[in-house]
Structure 1
Amino acid sequence: MGRGQFLLLGVAVAGAGALALVHARHREAPLVDDALAPVAAASLPSTSPPATSMPTSRGSTLSGALGDRIAQARWIAVGAGAWPEATQVQIEQDVGLAREVLGERGVVLFAAGADAAVVQVQRPGGERDPLGSALADLFAPRGGRNAEYRAPNIPVDAPATAAHVLDALDLATSRSGDPLLVFVAGHGDVGAQARANTVALWAGSDVTPEQVASVLEDARRPVRLVVTTCFSGGFAELVFDDADEASGPSPQLHCGLFAAPWDLEAAGCDPNPERAEQEGYAMHFLEALRGRGRDGEPLTLDVLDYDHDGVIGLLDAHTRVRIASTAADVPTTTSERWLRRHAPSGGPLAHVDLPEEDAVIEALLRRVGLDGRGAAEARLAEAALAIDAASTAVEQAQLDEDAAFRAAAGELLARWPVLDDPWHPEFATVYRHDREEIARTLAASSAYAQYLRARERAAAAQLALTDHEVTAAPLERLVRAYETRELAGRLAAAGGAAFERFEGLRACERARP
């Protein structure tokens, strides 16, 4: 079942009263050099070694003056890819903006550290060997070949490995104090269930919601998470004990705001350093916190203060993303996750003041040119059909590309068996001695020409799918806002501890950073 079919199911179920939007796990296509345009998100396929979850090592990797600073920190900002090819400059820029906006008493954990030249920056029109490029794109397509690497331009306190991140969380929550804000930018991947989702960190390491829950088990101050990665909504499972819905509510109240639900991607990993060309949750969110729009233009308080409390809080900034983002993101929160677990599927409604949902509904109805929930659900159903058809087209185009690759690769390897392995001891000799004949063979090969056409069709199909997802995103946000408002009303009518926890989560999310 494709994402479009899941959306159709969600809209149908919502109309019946259960109000559950469910999303498929669409994965982004691998990057090649020609596709170094904005990367749709943080589940970046890689030819590098796989990430592996690391166990929590309480307080063992950070000590001395840095450890003391972390223990007293107001905020921690984390940014990384698993390897250089996934450490795009936008991640660095977002972490730098977080540092600027959040102010004093913060700590930055980034990639391989302050001096490591691992930040990927797209370079304009770099010179490449045409034959080498053709062989690389045929046998080993990957991002980063049209990019250069440099050290971070932002102050960095330590590398962003899984061990460092978990130890920093442990140190920073080991003393009583004001809430700790943790900002995370980078890539994520989806697990078999939400608590098994991961955020990719340096050197192929990663962390899961379950690991974070384990570290926060003994936390002596509340934690507010802001995670901008793909599948970041998996960290909303922190509302449950051990990040496990079956274990009941967490004994402590931590909250979070996320760029996407547990099973959807998010934008925000672009190697293009031009901020005007980028899109992503962090840009809208962080600029809103300091009273600005995505491009840094000043906005008045009445535009951003959605709960009318006189300040711009975390949930205000999150609401701004939901309204203003042009990406395919569908942001979510811990309070939304709590509602979808505890709100009755039917029964009476009580009034709940949710000005953020009201603002999203008003703004997005105007943006998509609709006049109510029914029209939004109908339009979303249409978008779901288009996404499903586009997903099918992508799958077929990728199958066609795979078949064309096998024909073209087989033709070349039948004559030059080592061409697909540049590390083979004979490769350099073969490439140097036979390069003109290899180039002539490629130029005359109908199989290779068919492969190039198939690759172009696959790229076009992926772009078409992305366009449909971007079109659907404001509709999904809109329907989700209606859903949240109704579920909150049902939970309020039921009352009790579950509604009190919802109000506590919402208050946590509304706080200033």
Structure 2
Amino acid sequence: MKALTLAALCITPLYAHVALAADNAFLFGGGPNPENSQFSIESNVIWFDDVLKNGNFDQVITQFGSNQNNANEISYAVSQSHYQTDLIDILFGSANDANIRFRPALIGSDNNRTTEKEPLLNTLNEQISQLNANDSLFLTYSGHGGRAEGGKNNFLYLWNNTELSVSDMAQAMAKAHSESTVRYVLPQCYSGGFNRLAFKNLNPKQGLSEGAAVCGFTAVADDQLSEGCTESVNTEDYRDYASYFYAALTGSNRNGTPVTQPVDINEDGVVSLNEAHTYAYRYGNSSDIPRSTSEDYLLAIEHWSERWASTINPAASNQYNQTAAILGFDFDSEPMTNAFYQESAKKLKAAQLKADAVYSELRSTFSTIRNKREALMPALLLNWPQLSNPKTEQYHQTLAQEKKNILQWLATQEEMIDLVQLEKRKLELIDNNINTMRELARYQRIHRMLKLSRLHERLKNTGGEKWDNYLALQTCESWVPPLK
């Protein structure tokens, strides 16, 4: 929504100059290199670019990848029907690699810049420097994230293996007009570390940052991987946090399928960023456990004595408790009861044990596969020493000339027979692992909402500066972007 601000009075008393506040958006993304610039990341950027540019923003700048029209920088997987995995691929562990192809990006940069750190920072600084009082900047990223020691200065992976850290972004945001606002949506791994941007000296316990108001939303905590780190790089069923977030804002997903669950929580006819976040939290079937700056603030300022405090009955309007109830749709107990808390704890423990068991078997299977390959390789190389290095021309020539004989030999090896079965089991476990992680995440989300519900009620009763800071963050997060 565009806000009107009185700029100055005219010399003549009959007129007044009224300036429109500007809403700007900056979308950037891609991987650090072609191998990690997946089709799914590009798909999100194309979708977000379309949404933002069809809205009523005053300016939208998209910056993506290498910005080279003919560079094969997007990785994607061909259909399994196009490629038949054989024993050699299983032995060399190249079944997945053999399905990967590369192509040029379908989207470039509006400003003809790459997303390397320096060009990216230059754009960010330009966007921030043009902000005036009441202006806003909305940042969205789609790509991969990395974790620094302690999670305090995590970073975004940018093109050409460069990095943009929390402190880099903080320095840029510090230049913004003190009466402007910067908001962000960051769905990458370890993204929770960027919620420190909202606070003074990147520390929630020191209160809100000085200068421009800053708030935002991230997919996971500062020490957690996001679902975007998926085994598949070519899926339309991409379940990252930002996909659910933008689906809530627009009313449909990237494929045009309408959102059927409630989004407009306060029923005012528009969807705020906070409502989009809440939708993603409530209905996002993924392993992500999203968080906002106001939520992280509540957790950061919790006094140690409150960890063992009894539960306060939440108000009916307590959004955290409402979310817990929606996520616990199949619970036997009623929401906001002690039985609900107990059932939540029990289900969380069971889901954790189940997820741990699947993950343990998956790790064990990977290890066994590696051992089987190592046991087979010496005998193989004794017969065909040219296969010692897949990157050499001799390797490819030998495969072309001797492939039939190699396959016949492998089919007689007991370790190879075991390896084939292990590969099948590995693929099953990969699917089981993500499903159990998604199930676990649902109960972890419930547990987190119940805790936030308690902290919200206690802080509301206490009041003071911390309550004011919390409300200021929530107000910032409740902005309605100018979308059609």
Q: Does 1:399 align with 2:367?
A: yes
Alpha-carbon spacing, 1:281–1:336, altered in 2? closer, same or farther (3 Å): same
Question: 5+ residue gaps in structure 1?
Answer: 1-71
Output the amino acid matched with 1:216. Answer: M
The farther-off stretch of 234-243 and 246-255 is 246-255
Match of 1:271 among 203, 215, 233: 233
Alpha-carbon spacing, 1:447–1:298, altered in 2? closer, same or farther (3 Å): closer
Confirm or deny: 8 A CA contact 1:343 1:488 kept in the other structure: no
> 1:293 & 1:426 partners in 2: Cα distance?
48
For residue 395 of structure 1, report the CA deviation from its aligned partner: 2.5
Alpha-carbon spacing, 1:198–1:449, altered in 2? closer, same or farther (3 Å): farther
Q: Which residue of 1 aligns with 2:457?
A: 489
**Any residues of structure 2 matched to 1:25-424 within 5 Å, and which?**
74-102=24-52, 103=55, 104=57, 105-113=59-67, 115=69, 116-125=71-80, 127-128=82-83, 134-139=87-92, 141=94, 143=96, 145-154=98-107, 156-157=109-110, 158-177=113-132, 178-220=135-177, 221-244=180-203, 249-252=208-211, 253-268=213-228, 271-272=233-234, 275=236, 277-292=237-252, 296-298=256-258, 303-344=262-303, 345-346=305-306, 356-367=319-330, 370-371=333-334, 372-424=340-392
For residue 299 of structure 1, report the CA deviation from its aligned partner: 5.7
The farther-off stretch of 468-477 and 153-162 is 153-162
Confirm or deny: 8 A CA contact 1:109 1:160 kept in the other structure: yes
The farther-off stretch of 489-498 and 343-352 is 343-352
What's the TM-score, normalizing by structure 2? 0.80
Q: Which residue of 2 aligns with 1:480?
A: 448
Confirm or deny: 8 A CA contact 2:205 2:300 kept in the other structure: no
Confirm or deny: 8 A CA contact 2:117 2:162 kept in the other structure: yes
Root mean square deviation of aligned Cα: 3.0
For residue 295 of structure 1, report the CA deviation from its aligned partner: 5.6
For residue 332 of structure 1, report the CA deviation from its aligned partner: 0.9
> 1:308 & 1:358 partners in 2: Cα distance?
18
Q: Deviations over 1:160-219 (max 9, x none)?
A: 222233222222111333121110112223333222333222222222223222322322
Confirm or deny: 8 A CA contact 1:351 1:492 kept in the other structure: no
> 2:90 & 2:460 partners in 1: Cα distance?
57
Q: Percent identity?
A: 24
Output the amino acid matched with 1:251. Answer: E
Confirm or deny: 8 A CA contact 2:200 2:207 kept in the other structure: yes
> 2:477 & 2:429 partners in 1: Cα distance?
38
Alpha-carbon spacing, 1:443–1:355, altered in 2? closer, same or farther (3 Å): same
What's the TM-score, normalizing by structure 1? 0.76
Output the amino acid matched with 2:328. Answer: L
Alpha-carbon spacing, 1:415–1:297, altered in 2? closer, same or farther (3 Å): closer
Confirm or deny: 8 A CA contact 2:144 2:188 kept in the other structure: yes
Question: 5+ residue gaps in structure 2?
Answer: 1-21, 335-339
> 1:179 & 1:137 partners in 2: Cα distance?
52
> 2:96 & 2:279 partners in 1: Cα distance?
31
Larger radius of gyration: 2
**Other structure's SS at 1:224 match:** strand
Confirm or deny: 8 A CA contact 2:67 2:108 kept in the other structure: no
Confirm or deny: 8 A CA contact 1:404 1:454 kept in the other structure: no
For residue 76 of structure 1, report the CA deviation from its aligned partner: 0.9
The structure with the largest strand share of the pair is: 2
For residue 106 of structure 1, report the CA deviation from its aligned partner: 0.7
Question: Aligned residue pairs: how many?
Answer: 437
The farther-off stretch of 96-105 and 412-421 is 412-421
Match of 1:511 among 460, 479, 483: 479
Q: Which residue of 1 aligns with 2:17?
A: none
